[in-house]
């Protein structure tokens, strides 16, 4: 058995183990969700909240069997098994490349989408409705005020109705005391707009996800090459694997 075959089998075995590791992680998450639901089932009547956990566990089972197919096919060097494993890897590889391209496209659209959505939510602010709670939470957590800056509040319906020349108290800087949100004291307010903070956070998450997807896609690419090496090596040299079985 030459170095190329050994390397190819090692890559495929590591990939199969990664599927098992992913299955174990997903099983833990699914079990955690189910246990959490049981702890609060007296307060929850909608059983559909368990659907995500069931889906996660089903995906874990699929990942386990994919890893099993990969291990068995690699050890036996089965043409049928390796072909099936190659098809599965190819489908996942195409999905990852598609996700990478969509992530790149969406990353460029984040700025316009975020500002448009945020303006509509800020316009609905009245200090009482659910949108108001979301806006106040966002401004307090991100230490921001308004969409681009605190002056955006002067164009909202809430500002015109209250007529007190002030912005919500959630715009107040955390290091100030007795802040009333008055625009006459801008030094007490957060000056950074919320759109920039949200855009930065979303773009960072998308960029990180794209790097992870690209890394997995590269691994899948080398795995497909490894399958081809094993298959072609067996056909060219007539090499018989140490293990023989149903898929040989």
Q: Which CATH class is domain 113-197?
A: mainly alpha
CA distance 120 to 136: 15
Please, are residues 172 and 181 in contact by the beta-carbon 8 Å criterion?
yes
Q: Alpha helix locations (H) across the chain?
A: 3-39, 51-76, 79-123, 130-142, 157-162, 194-237
CA distance 234 to 9: 13
CA distance 140 to 142: 6
pLDDT given for residue 243 in this prediction: 44
Domain parsing of the chain, residue ranges: 113-197
89 pLDDT higher than 70: yes
CA distance 248 to 236: 16
91 pLDDT higher than 60: yes
What confidence tier does 68 reach under pLDDT thresholds 50, 70, 90? confident
Report the residue count for the chain.
248
CA distance 15 to 10: 9
Residue 46 neighbours by CB distance under 10 Å = 7
pLDDT given for residue 171 in this prediction: 92
CA distance 112 to 100: 20
Residue of higher predicted confidence among 238 and 122: 122
In the predicted model, what is the mean pLDDT of residues 9-14? 78
204 pLDDT higher than 70: yes
129 pLDDT higher than 80: yes
In the predicted model, what is the mean pLDDT of residues 204-216? 77
CA distance 38 to 41: 5
Per-residue tokens: 97? 């490349």
């Amino acid at each position: 058995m030459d170095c190329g075959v050994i390397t190819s089998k090692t890559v495929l075995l590591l990939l199969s183990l990664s599927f098992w590791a992913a299955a174990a992680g997903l099983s833990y998450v699914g079990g955690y969700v189910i246990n959490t639901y049981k702890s609060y089932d007296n307060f929850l009547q909608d059983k559909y909240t368990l659907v995500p956990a069931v889906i996660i566990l089903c995906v874990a089972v699929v990942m386990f069997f994919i890893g099993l197919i990969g291990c068995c096919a690699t050890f036996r060097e089965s043409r049928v098994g390796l072909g099936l494993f190659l098809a599965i890897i190819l489908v996942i590889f195409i999905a990852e490349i598609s996700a990478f391209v969509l992530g790149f496209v969406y990353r460029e659209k984040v700025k316009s989408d975020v500002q448009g959505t945020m303006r509509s939510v800020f316009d609905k602010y009245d200090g009482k409705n659910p949108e108001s709670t979301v806006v106040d939470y966002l401004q307090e957590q991100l230490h921001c005020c308004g969409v681009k800056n605190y002056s955006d509040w002067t164009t909202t319906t809430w500002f015109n109705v209250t007529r007190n020349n002030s912005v919500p108290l959630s715009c107040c800087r955390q290091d100030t005391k007795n802040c009333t949100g008055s625009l006459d004291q801008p030094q007490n307010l957060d000056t950074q707009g919320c759109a920039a903070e949200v855009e930065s956070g979303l773009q960072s998450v998308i960029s990180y996800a794209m790097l992870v997807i690209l890394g997995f896609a590269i691994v899948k690419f080398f795995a497909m090459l490894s399958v081809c090496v094993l298959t072609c090596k067996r056909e060219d040299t007539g090499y018989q694997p140490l293990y023989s079985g149903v898929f040989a």
